């Protein structure tokens, strides 16, 4: 390094606001040592009298070196390296994506361009694993499943001969209440590891034994999880299209259901197999839908739910929640599922689909063409044809956590094959690193760090770390930290710090505005004991309600809750709160409560408060007023000490009196009626006696009298002879 003489005033140290890229070699920022580049200057001199000698490199943005640096400028280069590898495995196939690893070393603002390529390989491997529900009701579909291997071989014969088939089965957890000891129940069994022999597949179907259980749902998720994560046992190949066909006629158990059977452990998404059977069925809960989806994505497995129409609604909902899954009807016709498997294979080999993952916010990664799910025309490939994709990578800014490396990925969708991008960042100059920094340096009056020829001073010190005092700050004490706007005499409203005449809010997620007095949240515009912002009659602006100007009603007051003809509505909202405040039965720490006599309630001090009345117990009413504090917006309740009560009548006396009166009237009426009837009867009896005695009743004098004797003449009687 050459000796350097540099004007001290040429170097500033201001916080980064933004990074804008205009050329590959220039970073436009407000100058900072963190995001600048190394400047190594040889034999540079200046006539400025404010200089001091510095031996070593400076750190500065490149465009700021033109006026004072006549020496050599060191611009950290962007380095890109590529690594290809051949996958030597049981398939003897070469990777389709190239290169497999890309190492990039760059700095913010520099766009890095490189190409990747995709070449479809011949006889791309396809692994299809049939996961069969072997509860007794599925026995009728045995013949259908046997036909799948023959049909698949026939459909795929024109595209590849590298197909493997496997079989797994499931019923239910072997524990009550889902199954009984006499049931043949198990959560998952690997009946046939993936094989290229179609005859083995047919034999495996025939050897499957069917079991039973109590409830309708099955252990589908238990089996599906083990089939996906037990890579070696199932026989999944590293480079293959993976498909699981779930054949069932019932719905499924999911996370939480296992607790009923004593399976208390959360599913850990790991392989637990011994002798081809799941060993944690009785202790580990069923996986959740989210866990199934995560593993399916991580392992690049396509899931086909081949279920009967009885379970169609459940699996159609499930296919939208599990990555890469689809529903097909399971029936006597097998062609639909086999056709889908064939189409998936053809789509894989003839349509390039790429996905970028693990891309942090500070990196912009774009592909041309993008080859995503929305790009159907530009990413079609033919057999043995290479498709080139241009990739643009731009580091927009250095990460806040100061990490200097990251790993990005470009993946083939639906496959485990990927390109790994190892990114190394130039975010600090060499002279800024801790090993090249002098703490409490003499050049800085022992009050700061000496980095790249510049003093990084302690708080309240500037230049060569002299004391700025309590009011001023900055490298040259140029910032007046007491000139910020004040709110009610408090600088930055007490919600921030003054820096160079500008309020910096301590928590931007809560406060904003030039004086940090404007709350971001609308909570301050919601009236106590209410739920609506500005009572639904206005907008919250800087923590204050601006009431709507309507032609029908003119809303006013702190929370736009008062208008002519609608005051009672607000009273109804706070009546219950006022009553519990009067009875001291609730927490009123956020409310100013005042108790006054009836005469004091009419004082002019409370003439602007709104009057209300709240019902209390025992036929009493509470008279009160309310208003809001002008500054704190706290609710103020002015409660009248004396409650107005209505004395209730004793209903027993009038009730009993009424009953007694009714009974008395009834008895008197009955008695009077009895007396009148007796008098009438006596009068009639006397009249009868008089008439009876006045008549001489004898046999001759009575014209109505008839003798009781009757005489009959016998016509055959001759008389005495």
pLDDT digits (tens, 9 = 90+) for 160-200: 788 899 999 999 999 888 888 878 899 999 999 999 888 88
Q: Are 490 and 484 in contact, with CB atoms under 8 Å apart?
A: no
326 φ, ψ to 5°? -155, 155
- Domain shared by 533 and 509, yes or no: no
Residue 699 lies in a domain: no
Domain boundary among 311, 331, 350: 350
Beta-sheet strands, E only, within 515-573:
518-519, 538-541, 544-547
Q: Residue 389 maps to which CATH number?
A: 2.60.40.1510
- Domain shared by 173 and 288, yes or no: yes
Residue 451 lies in a domain: no
Mean pLDDT of 61-88: 73
- Domain shared by 182 and 326, yes or no: yes
Q: Looking at the predicted structure, is the pLDDT value of residue 93 above 80?
A: no
Distance CA 267, CA 166 (A): 24
Q: Looking at the predicted structure, is the pLDDT value of residue 17 above 60?
A: no
Length of the chain: 721
Q: Are 612 and 575 in contact, with CB atoms under 8 Å apart?
A: yes
Residue 720's pLDDT band, with cuts at 50, 70 and 90, is low
- Domain shared by 104 and 16, yes or no: no
Distance CA 664, CA 658 (A): 10
Distance CA 227, CA 130 (A): 10
Residues β-bridged to residue 451? 454
Q: Residue 490 maps to which CATH number?
A: 2.10.25.10
Q: What is the pLDDT of the chain when averaged over all its residues?
A: 80
- Domain shared by 157 and 301, yes or no: yes
User: Beta strand pairing status for 163-170 and 126-133?
Assistant: parallel
Mean pLDDT of 376-399: 85
> pLDDT of 434-469, one tens digit each?
888 888 888 788 878 888 888 888 776 665 676 666
Q: Are 127 and 90 in contact, with CB atoms under 8 Å apart?
A: no
Q: Looking at the predicted structure, is the pLDDT value of residue 96 above 70?
A: yes
pTM (2 d.p.): 0.52
- Domain shared by 328 and 234, yes or no: yes
Domain boundary among 350, 377, 407: 350
> pLDDT of 109-149, one tens digit each?
889 999 999 888 777 888 999 999 998 888 888 777 777 76
Check residues 482 and 8 and name the one with the higher pLDDT: 482
Residue 299 lies in a domain: yes
Categorise residue 296: left if φ over 0, alpha if ψ from -120 to 50, beta otherwise: alpha
Residue with tokens 């009236």: 527
- Domain shared by 44 and 117, yes or no: no
Q: Looking at the predicted structure, is the pLDDT value of residue 659 above 50?
A: yes
Q: What is the pLDDT of residue 715?
A: 78
Residue 609's pLDDT band, with cuts at 50, 70 and 90, is confident
> pLDDT of 572-587, one tens digit each?
888 888 888 888 888 8
The H-or-E segment that residue 149 falls in is helix 142-156
SS3 for 591-645 is: EEEEEECHHHHCCHHHCCCEEEEEECCCCEEEEEEEEECCCCCCEEEEEECCCEE
Categorise residue 153: left if φ over 0, alpha if ψ from -120 to 50, beta otherwise: alpha
Q: Looking at the predicted structure, is the pLDDT value of residue 45 above 60?
A: no
Q: What is the pLDDT of residue 76?
A: 80
- Domain shared by 577 and 634, yes or no: yes
Q: What is the pLDDT of residue 474?
A: 66
Which token pair is 419?
């390109």
Residue 604 lies in a domain: yes
Residue 657 lies in a domain: no
Domain boundary among 319, 350, 381: 350
- Domain shared by 526 and 512, yes or no: no
Number of independent structural domains in the chain: 6
Residue 444 lies in a domain: no
- Domain shared by 198 and 346, yes or no: yes
Distance CA 169, CA 246 (A): 9
Residue 317 lies in a domain: yes
Could you tell me the residue range of the domain that residue 40 belongs to?
Answer: 1-76
Q: What is the pLDDT of residue 332?
A: 61
- Domain shared by 209 and 267, yes or no: yes
- Domain shared by 117 and 261, yes or no: no
Q: Looking at the predicted structure, is the pLDDT value of residue 87 above 80?
A: no
Mean pLDDT of 287-294: 94
Q: What is the pLDDT of residue 687?
A: 85
Q: How would DSSP label each residue in 390-455?
A: EEEEEE-S--TT---EEEEEEEETTSS-EEEEEEEE--S-GGGSGGG-BTT-GGGTTSEEEETTEE
Residue 113 lies in a domain: yes
> pLDDT of 297-340, one tens digit each?
889 898 999 898 888 999 999 988 998 888 988 876 556 777 87
**What is the three-class DSSP state of 562?**
strand
Q: Are 90 and 111 in contact, with CB atoms under 8 Å apart?
A: no
Residue 373's pLDDT band, with cuts at 50, 70 and 90, is low
Check residues 539 and 470 and name the one with the higher pLDDT: 539
Q: Looking at the predicted structure, is the pLDDT value of residue 269 above 90?
A: yes
Q: Residue 312 maps to which CATH number?
A: 3.40.50.410
Contacts of 413 (CB under 8 A, 6+ apart): 353, 354, 355, 373
């Amino acid at each position: 390094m050459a000796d350097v003489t540099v004007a001290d005033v040429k170097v500033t140290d201001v916080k980064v606001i933004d990074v804008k890229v205009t050329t590959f070699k220039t970073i436009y920022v407000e100058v900072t040592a963190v995001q600048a580049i190394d400047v190594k200057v040889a034999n540079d001199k200046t006539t400025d009298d404010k200089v001091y000698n510095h031996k070593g490199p400076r750190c500065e943005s490149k465009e700021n070196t033109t006026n004072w640096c006549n020496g050599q400028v060191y611009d950290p280069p962007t380095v890109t390296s590529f690594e290809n590898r051949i996958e030597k495995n049981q398939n003897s196939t070469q990777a389709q994506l190239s290169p497999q690893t890309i190492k990039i070393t760059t700095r913010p603002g520099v766009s890095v361009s490189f190409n990747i390529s995709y070449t479809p390989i011949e006889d791309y491997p396809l692994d299809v694993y049939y996961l069969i529900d072997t509860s007794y009701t599925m026995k009728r579909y045995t013949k259908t499943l046997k036909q799948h291997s023959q049909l698949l071989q026939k459909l795929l014969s024109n595209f590849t001969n590298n197909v493997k088939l496997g079989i797994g089965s499931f019923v239910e957890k072997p524990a009550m209440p889902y199954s009984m000891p006499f049931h043949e129940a198990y959560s998952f069994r690997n009946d046939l590891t993936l094989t290229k022999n179609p005859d083995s597949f047919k034999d495996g179907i025939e050897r499957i034994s069917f079991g039973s259980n109590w409830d309708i749902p099955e252990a589908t998720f238990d089996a599906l999880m083990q089939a996906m994560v037990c890579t070696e046992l199932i026989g999944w190949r590293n480079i293959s299209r993976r498909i699981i066909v779930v054949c069932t006629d019932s719905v499924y158990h999911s996370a939480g259901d296992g607790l009923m059977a004593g399976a208390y452990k959360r599913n850990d998404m790991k392989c637990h197999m011994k002798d081809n059977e799941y060993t944690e069925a009785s202790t580990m809960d069923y996986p959740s839908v989210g866990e199934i989806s995560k593993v399916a994505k991580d392992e690049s497995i396509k899931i086909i739910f081949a279920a009967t129409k009885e379970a169609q609604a459940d699996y159609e909902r499930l296919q939208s929640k599990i990555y890469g899954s689809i529903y097909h009807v399971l029936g006597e016709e097998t062609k639909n599922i086999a056709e889908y498997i064939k189409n998936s294979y053809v789509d894989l080999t003839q349509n390039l689909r790429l996905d970028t993952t693990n891309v942090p916010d500070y990196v912009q990664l774009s592909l041309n063409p993008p080859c995503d799910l929305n790009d159907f025309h530009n990413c079609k490939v033919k057999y043995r044809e290479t498709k080139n994709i241009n990739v643009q990578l731009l580091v927009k800014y250095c990460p806040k956590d100061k990490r200097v490396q990251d790993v990005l990925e470009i993946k083939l969708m639906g496959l485990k094959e990927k390109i790994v991008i190892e990114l190394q960042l130039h975010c600090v100059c060499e002279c800024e690193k801790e090993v090249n920094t002098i703490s409490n340096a003499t050049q800085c009056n022992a009050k700061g760090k000496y980095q790249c020829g510049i003093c990084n001073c302690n708080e309240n010190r500037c230049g060569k770390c002299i004391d700025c005092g309590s009011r001023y700050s900055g490298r040259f004490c140029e910032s007046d930290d007491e000139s910020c706007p004040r709110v009610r005499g408090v600088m930055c409203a007490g919600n921030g710090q003054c820096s160079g005449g500008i309020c910096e809010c301590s928590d931007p997620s809560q406060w904003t505005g030039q004086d940090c007095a404007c709350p971001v949240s609308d909570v301050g515009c919601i009236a106590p004991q209410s739920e609506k912002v500005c009572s639904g009659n206005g907008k919250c602006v800087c923590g204050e309600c601006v009431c709507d100007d309507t032609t029908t009603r003119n809303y006013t007051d702190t929370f736009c809750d008062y208008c002519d003809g609608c005051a009672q509505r607000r009273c109804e909202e706070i009546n219950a709160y006022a009553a519990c405040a009067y009875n001291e039965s609730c927490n009123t720490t956020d409310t100013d409560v005042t108790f006054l006599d009836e005469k004091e309630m009419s004082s002019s001090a409370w003439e602007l408060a709104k009057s209300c009345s709240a019902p209390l117990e025992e036929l009493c009413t509470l008279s009160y007023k309310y208003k809001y504090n002008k500054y704190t917006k706290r609710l103020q309740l002015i409660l009248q000490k004396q409650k107005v009560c209505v004395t209730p009548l004793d209903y027993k006396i009038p009730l009993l009196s009424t009953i007694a009166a009714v009974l008395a009237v009834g008895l008197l009426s009955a008695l009077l009626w009895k007396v009148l009837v007796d008098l009438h009867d006596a009068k009639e009896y006397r009249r009868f006696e008089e008439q009876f005695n006045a008549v001489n009743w004898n046999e001759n004098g009575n014209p109505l009298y008839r003798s009781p004797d009757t005489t009959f003449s016998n016509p055959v009687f001759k008389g005495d002879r």
